[in-house]
A and B are shown apart, each in its own frame.
Chain A
Amino acid sequence: MKNKNLTYYALLFLIIVLSSCKNEGEYHSVSDRIKAEEKPYHGTLTSEELLAGRDLIKITEGEHTFLIPERKSQIKSFACIECHSKPLSQMKGTDKAKAHWDITINHANIETMDCATCHNGEDMNNLKSLTGRNIDFNLSYKLCAQCHTTQFEDWKGGAHGKKISGWTPPRASMTCVECHNPHDPGFKQRWPAQFNTKKAIERNEGLDH
C-alpha cells in the first residue's frame, strides 16, 4: 500500500520534471531558424516615410541595387563652372585663386594624391577617375572605390557606412562623402558624449557611502 503510494508520487514527480525540460520549439539555434524561415521581406513596413522628400538616385553595383542621396544639389558652389569658366591652368594667378583657401588635403600623401587626382582641371563639373574618365559628382563613390576596394565591397553589402532608410526596404545608403570629408577623410579624436558619474562612484568609492 505504502509502496504503491510512493510509486505514484515518483511517477508524478517524473512527469513534472520531464514536462519542465527545455522545450525550445523547432529550432536548435538561431541560424537554423533563419535558414528555415528565410523569406525576402515584402511586409507592410517600409522606409518610404523616412525617405519622403529626399532626392535619391537608384544605383546598381554588382548584385546590389539601392538608393543613394543626390549630391549635386547639396554642394553649395555647384555648378563649378559658374566660377571655373576656363580650364584651371588659365585661371591661375587671378584673384579667384583664393576661393578654396579653407581646403587642405589630408588624404594619403602628396606622392599619391593631389587635387588633380580627383578633379578634372579641364572639366570642373565632373570628377575624374585614375584613367582620366569623367565621374559624375552624384556617383562620387566610384572615385573612392578605385583605391578603397574592400570598403567598397562592404559598403555595397551594407557592412560599411550608414543608412538613410530604416531596416525596411527600400534600402537607401549614405555615400562615402556623407561621413568622410573627401579632402580630410579620417575621423577625429574628440570627447565622448557621455560620462556616467554614478558608475564612477559605484566603482571607486563603492564602500564609502
Chain B
Amino acid sequence: MGQFKVLKSLVVDSLDTITKGSLKYHLWMGFLTIVILIGMYCYSIQLDEGLSVTGMNDRVSWGLYISNFTFLVGVAAAAVMLVMPTYILKDIDFKQAVLIGEGLAVSALIMCIAFVIADMGGPAVLWHMIPGIGVFNFPKSMLAWDVIVLNVYLFINISIPFYILFRHYQGKEAKHNVYLPGAILSVFWAVAIHLVTAFLYQGLQARPFWNNALLGPRFLASAFAAGPALIILVLAIIKRFTEFKVEEKTIKKIAMIVTVAAQINLIMLISELFKEFYAPTHHSESAYYLFFGLHGKTALLPWIWTAITLNVIATAMLTFNKLRNNLNVLYLCCIMLFVAIWIEKGFGLIVPGFIPGPYGKIVEYLPTGIEVGVTLGIWALGAFIFTILAKTAIGIELGKLQFKSKKDTV
C-alpha cells in the first residue's frame, strides 16, 4: 500500500515537473505538439483514403515508414552499449548516460511501433496480432518474432529505469540483484531485436538485395554507430540546457564505441560493394540502381552518395584521437554519422530491395507530402516522449523530485 502511495506521488510530481519549465522548454514542447498534430491530421487523411495517398505502390510496397522503423530499431538497440558497461562491468562512468540511453530506447521503440502501425493497411484489425486473442504465426513469421522481441524489449527498457528511478525517488539505492538479471537479459535482447529485424529482410529469397548473410551484422554495426551517436548529441543538449552533470569522460567513452562501430560498418560496406561490383550478377541490379542508377532511373543517387560521403568523412575524422577528443568536432561527426546511417539503413536499404521488381520492372519511389507529414509527426512524438522521460529522470537524479511522506509535508 505504501508503494502505491509513492507511485501516486511520483506520477503527480512528474506531471508537475513536465508541465513546468523555462520558456525555451515550453516553446520546444509546443513546437513538438504542433508537429504531432500535423502528423495526426496527415494520418487521418491516410486512414480515410487508404495508403494510396503515400508514394508506395505494388512495386515499391514499403517506403518511408518501414525505412524509419528499421533505422529506429537500431537506435533502440544501441542503448545496450551503455547498459553493458554500467550494470554488468560496473563502470560507474556511464551511470548517468544509461538512464538517458534507455529513455531513448523507449521512445525509439514507441516510434517503431507507431511507424509499423502507420504502415498497416488495416489498423482496425491489429488485434489479430495480439497473441492469445488473434492468431499468431509464430515461430514461422519473422514479423511475429519482431513483434514479440520489440515488445519485450520495450518492457525491459521501461521497467529497469523505472525501478531505479523509483528507488532514487524514495531516496534509496537501487538493489543490484533486482535489476541486474534484467540488465543482462536486455543485453542479449538488444542484439536480438536487431538481428530479428535484419532477418525480416534477410530471409526473403525474393529480394536478392536483402538476401545476404552480411545484412544482420551490418545492421548491428551501423546501429551501434548511429545509436550512441544520437546519445552523445542528446547528452550534449542535456548538458547545455540542464544542471544534469554529464562528464566529458562519459561522452568520450561513448565516442570510442561510435568510432569502432563506424569503422566496422565501413569495412562491411566495402565488402558488400566488392561482392556486388567485382563480379556483378543479375542479383546485383538493385545495388547498381542504388549506387549508379538503372536504365536512366536515378532517384536514389543523391541520397546514397551523400550518405557514403558523410559516413566516410565522419569515420575518418573519428579515427584520429585528436579530432575525436575535440567535443565540437565530435558532435559534428555524430550528426554526420547519424544522418548517413539514417539514409543508408532507411531509404538506402528498403527501397532498392524492391527495385527492380521481381520481373525487372522499375518503378521509382518518392514519399508524398502526407507520408512525410506522418513521419515527422511520429518523430515529434518520439522527441516529445523522450523529453518527458528525460525531464522526470533528470529531476529525480538531481534530487529535485523526492518522495516526501505526509509527515514531512505537514
Contacts and interface: CB of A to CB of B under 8 A. Distances in A.
Given A202-B59, A207-B299, A20 B363 contact: no
Contact of B364 (A9, A16, A206): A206
B29 interface: no
B139 A16 contact: yes
A9 B362 CA distance: 46
Interface in B116-139: 138-139
A203 interface: yes
Give the interface size bracket for B toward A: 10 to 19
A202 B363 contact: yes
A180 B363 CA distance: 40
A76 to B, nearest CB: 46
Given A203-B362, A207-B299, A20 B139 contact: yes
A114 B139 CA distance: 70
Interface in A176-209: 202-203, 206-207
A202 B357 CA distance: 13
B361 interface: yes
Interface in B357-371: 361-364, 366
Nearest to A21: B139
A16 B297 CA distance: 44
A23 to B, nearest CB: 9
B88 to A, nearest CB: 11
Contacts of A20: 138-140
| Chain B interface mostly | loop
A77 interface: no
A19 interface: yes
Contacts of B366: 207
A207 B364 contact: yes
Contact of B363 (A5, A9, A206): A206
A108 B361 CA distance: 41
Contact of A203 (B139, B140, B361): B361
Contacts of A16: 139
Contacts of A5: 181
A16 B192 CA distance: 14
A5 B184 CA distance: 11
Contacts of A207: 299, 364, 366
A19 B57 CA distance: 35
A206 B366 CA distance: 9
A103 B57 CA distance: 51
A207 B363 CA distance: 9
A62 to B, nearest CB: 39
B232 to A, nearest CB: 32
A79 B388 CA distance: 94
Interface string B327-364: 00000000000000000000000000000000001111
Contacts of A202: 57, 59, 363
4 smallest beta-carbon distances between A and B, as pairs:
A20-B139, A206-B364, A202-B363, A207-B364
13 contacts: A5-B181, A16-B139, A19-B139, A20-B138, A202-B57, A203-B361, A203-B362, A206-B297, A206-B363, A206-B364, A207-B299, A207-B364, A207-B366
Given A202-B59, A203-B362, A203-B363, 6 more contacts: A5-B181, A16-B139, A20-B139, A202-B57, A206-B363, A206-B364
Interface of A: 5, 9, 16, 19-20, 202-203, 206-207
